[in-house]
Amino acid sequence: MRITALAGGVGGARFLRGLRRHLDTLPDGPHELTIIGNTGDDITLFGLRVCPDLDTLLYTLGGGVHEQQGWGRADETFAVQHELAAYEVPPQWFGLGDQDFGTHIARSLWLGQGMPLSRVTARLAERWGLPGQHVRLLPMTDTPVETHVVVEEGEEQRAMHFQEWWVRYQAQLPAVRFVVAGMDHAVAGPGVLDAIRQADVVLLPPSNPVVSIGIILTVPGVRDALRGTNAPVVGVCPLVGGAPVRGHADVCLEAIGIDVTPAGVAGLYTDFLDGWLVDERDAGAPVAGLRVRACPLLMTDVDAAAAMGAAALELAMDLRKAA
Amino acid sequence: MRITALAGGVGGARFLRGLRRHLDTLPDGPHELTIIGNTGDDITLFGLRVCPDLDTLLYTLGGGVHEQQGWGRADETFAVQHELAAYEVPPQWFGLGDQDFGTHIARSLWLGQGMPLSRVTARLAERWGLPGQHVRLLPMTDTPVETHVVVEEGEEQRAMHFQEWWVRYQAQLPAVRFVVAGMDHAVAGPGVLDAIRQADVVLLPPSNPVVSIGIILTVPGVRDALRGTNAPVVGVCPLVGGAPVRGHADVCLEAIGIDVTPAGVAGLYTDFLDGWLVDERDAGAPVAGLRVRACPLLMTDVDAAAAMGAAALELAMDLRKAA
């Protein structure tokens, strides 16, 4: 079975780690998991290229993530960052650990040698054992793109990098809209469109629908591939009881004028979504044109995430039979 | 008093730290110390620009050096390097600590922004308090240059970066000659030639006469400035009892056909050297055309280095009176 998922950072990574565990329990394996990762969060810091969502996916699936934090490396030290602060190198609002710097230095070196991000990511993924798990991690595009947030300051509007808005200002500055710098000349990364077209199942993990999944959907060809694929497309709602489990999906949805409800989020995907998994406490409200199913959507541990993966997959299988 | 010194890494840095301490005890201060640092050792590792001699000078004069080792930072950790090894990024023969990486990341960032190495070095030196000590550290050139070593392998000759020869092979591969890639279009760094011409005293610390001092002497204009300056030029012999105190000066001297003796080393500087400080156990042998003086030349601690600095300065003063 070939499963393709679109994913942002922490929520997507935790869901996919659970799904991967569930897949290993199924017969007729190994089942292949292809992840199309958001690169809109990517940022150049201290001259190094940082890919927060790809790294969270690598570290989480590879067993190196800081479990409580959800991103970054376990058992981190911060000597490099301390030195950069001593040299007064901005920015000082983005926390990078020493082990994490190792990843960014390796990536920047290889990018500087002319290697595309997809190949760089594959090399990083080897160290984290993804090929051995039958997981491919594909950046949504090899073109450098960056999500910027247009914010209102009094009568003025100004744009800042998504990470500055998210990390430095904790999404508290009023966002007017999100724009992806570089997307006008971006092309989908190698294998990305085929992974959607040739999948047996396509999943949308509970990633941020605006700044993670929403950004991947703006990559030329991705939305068309989702509309055209024969695979059932099942989404996992990132809201539980009317609020995001973590992150600031509510703020992002409000910024683009979407109701902070499971139906509101599903409305962003109506042209290609077949099934929609919502939390038990959000059950009952039908969403037009969709098979909606309810189950617990709190990823309290890997087992809970595995159960969510199983439920999403089961819904997809039912949709295949129904088709 | 304006003192200008040419310097390599560990030996030069220890001598100059001692000299700086001695200068602070003299009347009519503050006395200005300008250091012209060797950049031939510079190397790009992991995509980052590393300047071993400049960093050793910064760390030693700034109080951050690993005292026993003589280079690198005290209390280092090695998380970044460990990660780069896990990602199988070569080379794995050059040890860089996490704090040290902070320096290289800052430097590479600023160089990448178009800042010349001299300005980058001045910014790094601010953090290490050099301006407050009345010390200026000038790279010998802003032009990227690299010392390469031509070695014999059977019937063949091949060139490798000086650091590879020095660190990886511990100077054990037979060297035929040293060449400085990039020197044919290099120009002396800002202030370098004036610092020699306008000095009251010029000193050569006990740095490697071939691959440290010798490389600085190949920067266009430097040798002429030394010949032309009115300041007495006093050198401190890097050999004690016929052998280098540390490093591989003997191997370097033999490679270029020079006797491993105080007279042999002084012979490299005959066209501009006025005074020559040798160790007590090397006293007695006159060197043609030079005022030779003997004193203990083992830098067992900062006090010993300060005494050497005092002796070198005293010899220079005597030469000024004599002139």
Q: What is the pLDDT of residue A270?
A: 95
Cβ contact (<8 Å) for B87 and A112?
A: no
The complex scores an ipTM of: 0.94
For residue A284, pLDDT over 90 is answered with no
What residue numbers bound the domain in which A49 lies? 2-143+187-322
Element (H, E) at B139: strand B135-139
Q: Which of B84, B102, B108 has its CB closest to that of A79?
A: B102
- CA–CA gap between residue A290 and residue A313 (Å, rounded): 15
Alpha helix locations (H) across B132-287? Answer: 162-163, 192-197, 213-216, 222-228, 249-255, 262-266
Structure tokens at A84: 């950069």
Residue in B66, B87, B115 to test binding to A, most A beta-carbons within 10 Å: B87
Same domain membership, residue B136 and residue B65: yes
- CA–CA separation, A142 and A183 (whole Å): 11
Residue keyed to tokens 């039912």:
A318
Residue A286 has pLDDT above 80, yes or no: no
* Average pLDDT of the residues in A50-77: 97
Measured between CA atoms, the residue of chain B closest to residue A101 is B80
Question: Does B127 sit within 8 Å of A87, measured CB to CB?
Answer: yes
- pLDDT tens for B286-320 read 787 899 999 999 999 999 999 999 999 999 999 98
User: How big is the CA angle at B68 (ends B98 and A81), to the nearest 5 degrees?
Assistant: 15
Task: Tell whether A228 and A158 lie within a shared domain.
Answer: no
Number of domains in chain B: 2
Residue B289: per-residue pLDDT: 84
- What DSSP letter does each residue of B143-170 carry, written as one string? S--EEEEEEEETTEEEEEEHHIIIIIST
pLDDT for residue A48: 98
Inside any domain, residue B235: yes
Query: Are residues A109 and B86, on separate chains, in Cβ contact within 8 Å?
Result: no
Residue B279 lies in a domain: yes
Residue B8 lies in a domain: yes
Which residues from A are below 8 Å from B86, CB to CB?
102, 127
Of the residues A73, A75, A80, A92, the best mutation for testing chain B's interface (the one with the most B CB atoms within 10 Å of its CB) is A80
> How far apart are alpha carbons B47 and A111 in whole angstroms?
10
Could you tell me whether strands B175-181 and B146-153 are parallel, antiparallel, or unpaired per DSSP bridges? antiparallel
Q: Rounded to whole angstroms, how far apart are CA atoms B146 and B46?
A: 16
CA B220 to chain centre: 17
Domain co-membership, A160 together with A209: no
Burial A258-276 (b: 16+ CB within 10 A, else e): bebbbbbbbbbbeebbbbb
For B22, the 3-state DSSP assignment is: helix
Given the structure tokens 């991967």, which residue do they identify? Answer: A20
Whether the pLDDT of residue A323 is over 80: the answer is: no
Judge if B60 and B163 occupy the same domain: no
A289: confidence class by pLDDT, cuts 50, 70, 90: confident
In a domain, B177, yes or no: yes
Same domain, B151 and B17: no
Nearest residue, CB atoms, A80 vs list B47, B88, B98: B98
Q: Which residues of A touch B89 (CB under 8 A)?
A: 105-106, 109
Residue B92 pLDDT: 87
Residue B19 and residue B155 in one domain: no
- Residue that wins the pLDDT comparison between A217 and B95: A217
My answer on whether B46 and B125 are in the same domain is: yes
CATH at A7: 3.40.50.10680
Task: List, as own/partner pairs, every contact residues B76-82 make where C-beta atoms lie below 8 angstroms and the sequence separation is at least 24, other chains included.
Answer: B76/A79, B76/B100, B77/A77, B77/A79, B77/A98, B79/A76, B79/A77, B79/A79, B79/A97, B79/A98, B79/A99, B79/A101, B79/A102, B80/A80, B80/A98, B80/A99, B80/A101, B80/A102, B80/A105, B81/A102, B82/A99, B82/A102
Shortest Cα–Cα distance, A49 to chain B (Å): 12
Residues A247 and A268: their CA atoms lie apart, in Å, by 19
- The rounded Cα B186 to chain-centroid distance in angstroms is 18
Residue A287 has pLDDT above 90, yes or no: no
Residues B161 and B286 in one domain: no
The β-bridge partners of B3 are B33, B201
Helix locations, chain B, DSSP H: 10-23, 52-62, 79-86, 98-112, 117-127, 162-163, 192-197, 213-216, 222-228, 249-255, 262-266, 302-322
Q: What is the per-residue burial (b if ≥16 Cβ within 10 Å, else e) of B191-230?
A: ebbebbbebbbbbbbbbbbbbbbbbbbbbeebbebbeebe
- A106: nearest CB among B76, B79, B89: B89
Q: Are B37 and B137 in contact (CB under 8 A)?
A: yes
Report the C-alpha gap between B137 and B122 in whole angstroms. 7
Q: What local confidence, expressed as pLDDT, does residue A285 receive?
A: 73
Contact call for residues A313 and A22 (beta carbons, < 8 A): yes
Q: Is B90 within the bounds of a domain?
A: no
What is the distance in angstroms between the CA of the first residue and the CA of the last residue of chain B?
17
> pLDDT tens digits for A126-179?
999 999 999 999 999 999 999 999 999 888 999 999 999 999 999 999 999 999
Q: Say how far apart CA A134 and CA B81 lie, in whole Å.
A: 28
Residues A127, B48: C-beta atoms closer than 8 Å: no
Write the CB contacts of A38 (distance below 8 Å, at least 6 apart in sequence).
Answer: A6, A7, A8, A9, A53, A140, A207, A211, A212, A213, A215, A216
Single-letter amino acid code for the residue at B182: G
Average pLDDT score over residue span A96-111: 98
Which candidate, B291, B320, B316, places its Cα nearest to that of B23?
B316
A106 chain-B contacts, CB cut-off 8 A? 46, 83-84, 87, 89
Taking CA B53 as the corner, what is the angle to CA B239 and CA B295, rounded to the nearest 5 degrees? 25
Is B50 contained in some domain? yes
Confidence (pLDDT) at A83:
98
The stretch A274-292 carries a mean pLDDT of 89
**Chains A, B: CB contacts under 8 A, how many?**
100
Distance between CA atoms of residues A249 and A243, nearest Å: 8
Chain A positions touching B48 (Cβ under 8 A) are 105
Of the three residues B135, B166, B184, the one that is the final residue of a domain is B184
Question: Is the pLDDT confidence value at B109 over 90?
Answer: yes
The mean pLDDT of A188-202, rounded to a whole number, is 98
Helix axes of B98-112 and B52-62: crossing angle, nearest 10 degrees = 120
Q: Do A47 and B112 touch (CB under 8 A)?
A: yes
pLDDT of residue B287: 80
Q: In the predicted model, is pLDDT for residue A271 greater than 80? A: yes
Q: State the pLDDT confidence band at A242, using cuts at 50, 70 and 90.
A: confident
| Closest alpha carbon within chain A to B102 | A80
Q: Which residues of B touch A (CB under 8 A)?
A: 46-48, 76-77, 79-84, 86-89, 97-99, 101-103, 105-106, 108-109, 112, 123-124, 127
Same domain, A104 and A249: yes
The distance of B107 to chain A (nearest Cα, Å) reads 10
Q: Residue B78 falls within a domain, yes or no?
A: no
- What is the distance in angstroms between the Cα of B19 and the nearest Cα belonging to chain A? 26
Distance CA B207, CA B13 (A): 9
Chosen domain end from B184, B209, B238: B184
B166 and B208, same structural domain? Answer: no
Using the beta-carbon criterion (under 8 Å), do B106 and A80 form an inter-chain contact? no
Q: What is the Cβ-side half-sphere exposure of residue A305, based on CA atoms within 13 angstroms?
A: 21
Helix or strand (DSSP H, E) at A160? strand A156-161
Mean pLDDT of all residues belonging to chain A: 96
Q: What is the pLDDT of residues B168-215, one digit of tens each?
A: 999 999 999 999 999 999 999 999 999 999 999 999 999 999 999 999
Q: What are the two backbone dihedrals, phi and then psi, of residue A221, each rounded to the nearest 5 degrees?
A: 100, -20
Task: For chain A, give the percent of residues with pLDDT over 90.
Answer: 93
Q: What is the pLDDT of residues B79-107, one digit of tens each?
A: 999 999 999 999 989 889 999 999 999 99
| Residues B195, B134 within the same domain | yes
* Close Cβ partners of B221 (under 8 Å, ≥ 6 residues apart): B187, B188, B192, B193
Give the distance from residue A128's alpha carbon to the nearest chain B alpha carbon, in angstroms.
9
CA A150, A152, A153, A156 dihedral sign is positive
Which of A154, A184, A214 is the last residue in one of the domains?
Answer: A184
DSSP β-bridge partners for residue B49: B44
Q: Is residue A313 domain-shared with residue A172, that is, in the same domain?
A: no
